[in-house]
A and B are shown apart, each in its own frame.
Chain A
Amino acid sequence: MALRMWASSTANALRISVASKTNLSSSYSLSRCFSSVLDGLKYATSHEWVKHEGSVATVGITDHAQDHLGEVVFVDLPETGTSVTQGKGFGAVESVKATSDVNSPISGEIVEVNSKLSEAPGLINNSPFDEGWIIKVKPSNASELDSLMGPKEYTKFCEEEDAAH
């Protein structure tokens, strides 16, 4: 948890340095080291996480994703009751700079959306794995989870992706 807090304070510091445009490339290379990955979650290559508990799977975007996106200003939420498909987009997250589609890591029916994000889209930046969750899904095929990455694999995936820079 301490590391996580350090990570977010580093991210905040970076955001300030990005805003003042002092040195973009160095702030970028620093940021790659500090995104956190949580145990117990599954991860998609398009940087969403899913947490399966009982009959419900909670979905959000990862710390890595929010960090690369920057300050989130708008979240385009889907409707409860609609269905989502693994690997297909269900909504979008807009930062001051770009709009990024959000894909569902699992197929099923949306049973709840995080309406708090309409008023407070910044929850995605401040608490990507907790208060910044986006939808809850009743999975139609829980075995799809097996095709996703675990925390170690995902950490490695992010490192490789950043190293490609």
Chain B
Amino acid sequence: MRSRSLEVWKLGRVNYLEALKLQEKLASDRKAHKISDTLLSLQHPPTYTLGKRKTEHNLLVQISELEKMGAELHYTQRGGDITYHGPHQAILYPIISLRSVGLGARAYVENLELTMIEFASLYGVKAFPGKKGETGVWVQDRKIGAIGVRISSGITSHGLAFNIDPDLNYFKHIVPCGIADKEVTSLRRETGTVLPSEEVIHEQLISCFAKVFGFTSLVWKENASILSDNEKS
């Protein structure tokens, strides 16, 4: 098996728009072969995002109320319906060339599902891919992980969001991913064991990602100046 290297950026908590700008820049650099396949690992402050279909009807509160809750709303170019991001939810944004990993769009997303399923199994939680028309990863009929992906000239952006222990009340204001009558859950809620630190959890999720996608070497970037460097350039 050929050695494949993945650059992993651990960014901590990042504002949604900043992360979006960073992804756009990296995707364009990846397309121009300036960088190798890259994985962003981060969390967002409370943010609701809509996909390309702009399904605002699945937002159940007035936009003015979102501000009062301290949450932002953003429109994005990813696939999928409305979703929530916030503290204690692990996010992976892979900026990878599908051609280099030899995957089509569907197989790519199935690998993202598998990443979260493998990760949940580390904690004895049995998760499954959504049924037809239901994206993300589920524990019985409770959603634990969401997926929203954009592919541009074969380069991926956006990605997956896995609920470690977010404030689940935020999900009450939306119909998550457009599927009504379904609950949202978290690793904390589904597992009886005590969870390690979120840093450890993020690393485990990254390891599952690398394993599922066949990346054999990881190059870690743990530099808080990445974002500010990006803004300057």
Contacts and interface: CB of A to CB of B under 8 A. Distances in A.
Contacts of B154: 46
A8 interface: no
Interface residues of B, number: 33
Contacts of A87: 153
Interface stretch (B16-24, B36-44, B57-65, B97-105): B97-105
Given A96-B135, A161-B102, A28 B107 contact: yes
Interface in B96-120: 99-110, 114
Interface in A50-84: 67-70, 74, 76
A97 B104 contact: no
Contact of A99 (B77, B108, B110, B129): B77
A162 interface: yes
Nearest to B109: A97
B199 to A, nearest CB: 29
A156 interface: no
A92 B152 CA distance: 9
A105 to B, nearest CB: 12
B149 A97 contact: yes
B129 A70 contact: no
A98 interface: yes
Nearest to A67: B104
Interface string A139-159: 000000000000000000000
B102 A98 contact: no
A144 B52 CA distance: 30
**Secondary structure class of chain A's binding surface, majority of residues:** mixed
B2 to A, nearest CB: 10
A97 B51 contact: no
A98 to B, nearest CB: 4
Given A94-B52, A94-B53, A100 B105 contact: yes
Given A74-B52, A101-B153, A165 B102 contact: yes
29 contacts: A19-B132, A46-B154, A67-B104, A68-B104, A68-B105, A70-B106, A89-B153, A95-B79, A95-B105, A95-B106, A96-B132, A97-B79, A97-B106, A97-B110, A98-B149, A98-B150, A99-B77, A99-B149, A99-B151, A100-B151, A100-B152, A101-B150, A101-B152, A103-B153, A161-B102, A162-B102, A163-B102, A164-B100, A165-B102
Interface of A: 18-19, 21, 24, 28, 46, 67-70, 74, 76, 87, 89, 92, 94-101, 103, 161-165
Closest A-B pairs by Cβ, 9 of them: A68-B104, A165-B102, A99-B79, A164-B102, A97-B109, A98-B149, A70-B106, A101-B152, A100-B151
Interface of B: 51-53, 77-80, 99-110, 114, 128-129, 131-133, 135, 147, 149-154
